[in-house]
Amino acid sequence: MDTILVTGNGPLHGQIPIAGAKNACLTLMPATLLSEDPLTLTNAPRLSDIKTMTTLLQSLGAEVSALQDGQVLAMSSHDLTSHRADYDIVRKMRASNLVLGPLLARLGEAVVSLPGGCAIGARPMDLHIEALEALGAEIDLRDGYLHATTKGGLNGAVHEMRFASVGATENMVMAATLAKGTTVIKNAAREPEIVDLVTCLRKMGAQIAGEGTSTIEIQGVDRLHGATHQVVTDRIELGTYMIAPAIAGGEVECLGGRIDLVSAFAEKLDEAGVSVEETAGGLKVARKNGRIRAVNVRTEVFPGFPTDLQAQMMALMCTAEGVSVLDETIFENRFMHAPELVRMGAQIDVHGGTATVTGVDRLKGAPVMATDLRASVSLILAGLAAEGETRVNRVYHLDRGYEQVVRKFEGVGANIERIKEDG
C-alpha cells in the first residue's frame, strides 16, 4: 500500500483549485438511469469512487465515457440490460445505494446489495426503504440484497423522514420524478449536493420545488430528457484545504470556493482566529494573528458543521490555545483518527461521541495509520504542523475523496510526497 510522507516546513502560500463535489457527482451519475437520453456532467472529480460508480452503471447496461482527462462524464442509459447491483461492486462504496430509486422508477424493479464504504458507523438503509415504500414500492431483504418491486409503478405520497438523511432524500427525489402524482418530502435534507441534484433533474424536465429547505415537493412526469450539468464545488475538499494555512501558517486562495457552501465551518474558523475572505476567484484563508484559539464544535446536518470536516478540525485544535470539545452527532466510530493524532503528541480524550482536545505547543512527526477517508487527510494536515517527518500509511482511502492531493499541497509549498509500495 502507498504511503504519504509529510515534513512540516513552515507557512503555505499560493492557490489550490477545488474539484467538483464527490458526493454530488455520485448522486448525479445514477440520475442517468431515469432517462433514455444522454446526461453529461462537467467538472467531475477524478476519484476512485467515480470509477466505482462508473463500473456499477456499466454493469446495469448504461454507457459511461470519461472525457477531457476525466472531468467530463458522458452517460446514456437508453438500453439498460440489468436491474441488479452486485455486492462485488456495491461493497466498495456507500453511494452505490443511490441506484435503487432510479431503477425502481424506470424499470419497476431493482435488486441492490447492501452497501459498503468507510467503517464510520452503521448508516442503515431503513430510511431509504421507508421513503421508497411510501411511494408504493415493496422491498424485502434476502441474502444481503434489497429486492424492490412496484405494482403498476410508483405513486406520489407525503412522507416525513425520521432523520434528515441525505441519501434517503436523494433516492426519494429521484424516484418521485417519475411517480404518478405529487410527492412531498418533509424533514428533507438540505445539503448543497441535493440542491445540485434537483438543479440537474430540473434541466432533465423534472418538476421540483423546495430544494434547500426541509420540504421538497415533486410533481411526477411521464419521462425525463437529456441534459448537461456542471457539478457543484466540493465543500468538503474546500474546507479541508482551508484548514491548511490555518494549521501551517501562510495564506492560501481556494479557487472555486464559495462561502455559502461552508458558512458554519467558516464561522468556526473565524472564532478560532482564521480570516476567510471572498475573492473574485474563490476564498482566501489566513491566520489573523498568532496562535489558533480553541473552539467547540458540534457536528450537525446542513447547514450545521459538517461531520466530514470534524477530523480536519480536530487536527487544527491539536495545537490551538486552550481546550476544545468536539461532539460527533452524525456517525459513531468517527474518532478513529484521535489515537493516531495522539501518536504525534496531541492530547485527546475520547468518551463516546465527545472528544476533548487540549492544545499543545507543537506536534511531532510519527508513523500513523489512516482509518477512513477524512481521517487520512486530517493526518496529513497534522503533519504540516508537526516537527519532523510524518509517515501516513494506508492512504488508499484518500483516492476515494481527494484528487491529486499531493500535487495540490506541493503547489502551495508543502514538503509532501507519495511513496508507491508493493502489496
Residues serving a catalytic function are 118
Asked if residue 348 belongs to a known ligand binding site, the reply is no
Could you tell me which residues are beta bridge partners of residue 293? 321
d(CA 204, CA 41): 12
- Which residue do the cell numbers 494506508 mark? 394
Asked if residue 296 belongs to a known ligand binding site, the reply is no
3-class SS of residue 278? strand
Residue 30 in grid coordinates: 445514477
Q: What type of residue sits at position 51?
A: K
Asked if residue 330 belongs to a known ligand binding site, the reply is yes
Residues with Cβ < 8 Å from 38, sequence gap 6 or more?
Answer: 32, 74, 75, 76, 226
| CB-CB contact of 85 with 60 (8 Å) | yes
Asked if residue 43 belongs to a known ligand binding site, the reply is no
DSSP states of 39-105 as a string?
Answer: EEEES----HHHHHHHHHHHHTT-EEEEETTTTEEEEE-TT----EE-HHHHTT-GGGGGGHHHHHH
For residue 233, give the DSSP letter.
B
Asked if residue 5 belongs to a known ligand binding site, the reply is no
Segment (H or E) for 252: strand 250-255
Asked if residue 287 belongs to a known ligand binding site, the reply is no
d(CA 166, CA 198): 13
Could you tell me which residues are beta bridge partners of residue 110? 148
Q: How crowded is residue 124: how many other Cβ atoms within 10 Å of its Cβ?
A: 10
Dihedral pair phi/psi, residue 404, rounded to 5°: 50, 45
Asked if residue 125 belongs to a known ligand binding site, the reply is yes
Over its C-alpha atoms, the chain yields an Rg (Å, rounded) of 22
CA distances in angstroms from 369 to 340, 397, 405, listed in the order given: 7, 11, 17
Dihedral pair phi/psi, residue 126, rounded to 5°: -60, -35
DSSP states of 311-325 as a string?
Answer: HHHHHHHTTSBSEEE
Asked if residue 23 belongs to a known ligand binding site, the reply is yes
Query: What order of strands is seen across the sheet that includes strand 282-287?
Result: 12-17, 250-255, 282-287, 274-278
| Beta pairing, strands 215-219 & 227-230 | unpaired
SS3 content of the chain, % helix, strand, coil (to 5): 35, 30, 40
d(CA 105, CA 207): 15
Binding-site sequence positions for UDP-N-acetyl-alpha-D-glucosamine: 94, 123-127, 308, 330
Binding-site sequence positions for phosphoenolpyruvate: 22-23
Binding-site sequence positions: 22-23, 94, 123-127, 308, 330
